[in-house]
Amino acid sequence: MSLRYQISMRILLIFMCILLLGGSISLWQARKSINKEVDSSINLALQLIKLGIADNKIHQIDWLFQLSHLKQTRHLTIQLKKSSGEMINISHQSQLTTLNERPPNWFVNLVVSQYPKVNYQIKTLHNDIFTLVIKANPMDEVIEVWHETIAFFTTILLLVLLSFLAVHLVFNKTLQVIQSIIEHLKGIEMGNYQKKLPVFVTEEYNNIATAINNMSAVLDRTQQQNRALTQHSLAIQEEERQWLSQELHDEFGQSLTAIKVMAVTAAHEKSDTKTITTSISEICDHLMTVVRSMMKQLHPLSLTELGLKATLEDLIYHWEVKNTTTSFRLYCDNDVDLIDGSMMIQIFRVIQESLTNIIRHARANHVIISLDIKHSPEMLYPDTLYLLVIDDGQGCHLNKITSGFGLLGMEERIKLLGGVFKIQSDVNEGMKITAQIPLA
């Protein structure tokens, strides 16, 4: 159902209610007005008849005919009833009632009520007794009210038509704006983030356009960041593969070649077997050290064997040995070793990257790492892991960071876990990294 149709139907419904209410009030006022007019006419006619008969006893009947021609008695039917029962109609037939414009019966029934009939006896000079019968005849007033009602409803109908015309003119312009916004959103759906909506005259549309343009700018910036992050990840992957290939070639290739040469030499009768076996043993020890170093850089085995807490303690010990001027403190909940393995490695990488950035750039004297699991049924997630890394280094303006992928990579790792990542920093005020990760 289109917006135009919905609004038009609502406007039509409102006008129907207005017509119904206005018509009811109009009919009620018309009925009340007719009753008041008829009552006034009857009272006036009676008063005039009493005064006229008292002052003009000779020509009473002629005076009554003159009375019936008064405009004030046009809503009355005045008749004289003789003693023999014959009725003499002395009322004036108005011009309105002679016209063939009688309103519909349903309208007459709605506005006309029951009116009293007045009988007044008259005695002439010849002692003839007549009965003056006065009855209401509000048809003239009903015809006037009918014409007024038609004019009222015609005016309302014209207002409805003008309102519909105005609404549709406004809607045509509105729908054009909406269509342009929809086309722009379709462009965003296809990945066209550079195109911007124009400035609209209407404030509400302009606010929508501004919000969409800002959203497009954010999406464009995010897309560029994701592309850069993907390229950076691929570059790191290639560097790791190149380093692994170099290590295998330099360490394993040479060591295995040396072991092979020594094994061939040991096959001779005059060879120094003890020296050869000692050399082979030393080469094997060296290879084991290289393998452990490579495995630790690719994936820390202690994370799987000992858990996250022990791995973090080993990582901090590694940095303390290399940086004696920086003190590290770790506060870690014992339950962190119970979380999922895929989540565990992501959290470890975030802390590892944080410490690497602190050592390289922050020049901090104190570093605090905290991992805490909170259990609360009132929270959205009953079990939530809180990560906190604080240093007292030189800090930076976050909006001026234009290079590097460490912070962006950490944020993406937390988002992949469904968490919330936040960074707070300023110049000479250190840096504070917080993350909330749902465990449910």
In a domain, 126, yes or no: yes
Cα-trace Rg, the chain: 52
Q: What pTM value is reported for the model?
A: 0.50
Q: Determine the Cα–Cα distance for residues 46 and 118; give it in Å rounded to an integer.
A: 9
Number of domains in the chain: 3
- Nearest CA-CA partner of 202 in 184, 180, 231, 226: 180
Query: What are the phi and psi torsion angles at 134 (to 5°)?
Result: -115, 120
Residue 370 shares a structural domain with residue 263: no
Q: Which residue has the tokens 């312009």?
A: 173
Residue 221 shares a structural domain with residue 337: no
Are 355 and 367 within 8 A, CB to CB? yes
pLDDT digits (tens, 9 = 90+) for 268-307: 877 788 888 888 888 888 888 888 777 777 777 778 788 8
Q: Determine the Cα–Cα distance for residues 34 and 280; give it in Å rounded to an integer.
A: 128
pLDDT digits (tens, 9 = 90+) for 359-397: 888 889 999 999 998 876 655 556 889 999 999 988 887
For residue 248, what pLDDT is reported?
78
Residue 336 shares a structural domain with residue 419: yes
Please count the other Cβ atoms lying within 10 Å of the Cβ belonging to residue 431.
Answer: 24
Q: Determine the Cα–Cα distance for residues 325 and 223; give it in Å rounded to an integer.
A: 40
Sheet of 431-438: strand order equals 327-332, 366-375, 383-391, 431-438, 420-425
- Nearest CA-CA partner of 133 in 148, 147, 116: 116
In a domain, 155, yes or no: yes
pLDDT digits (tens, 9 = 90+) for 313-370: 988 998 888 888 899 999 998 888 888 888 898 899 899 989 988 988 888 999 999 9
How do beta strands 87-89 and 420-425 pair? unpaired
Q: Which residue has the tokens 């170099």?
A: 246
CATH number of the domain encompassing residue 406: 3.30.565.10
Residue 424 pairs in a beta bridge with 432
For residue 297, what pLDDT is reported?
72
Residue 135 shares a structural domain with residue 259: no
Residue 23 shares a structural domain with residue 152: yes
Q: Determine the Cα–Cα distance for residues 46 and 69; give it in Å rounded to an integer.
A: 15
Residue 118 shares a structural domain with residue 200: no
Residue 126 belongs to what domain range?
A: 3-165
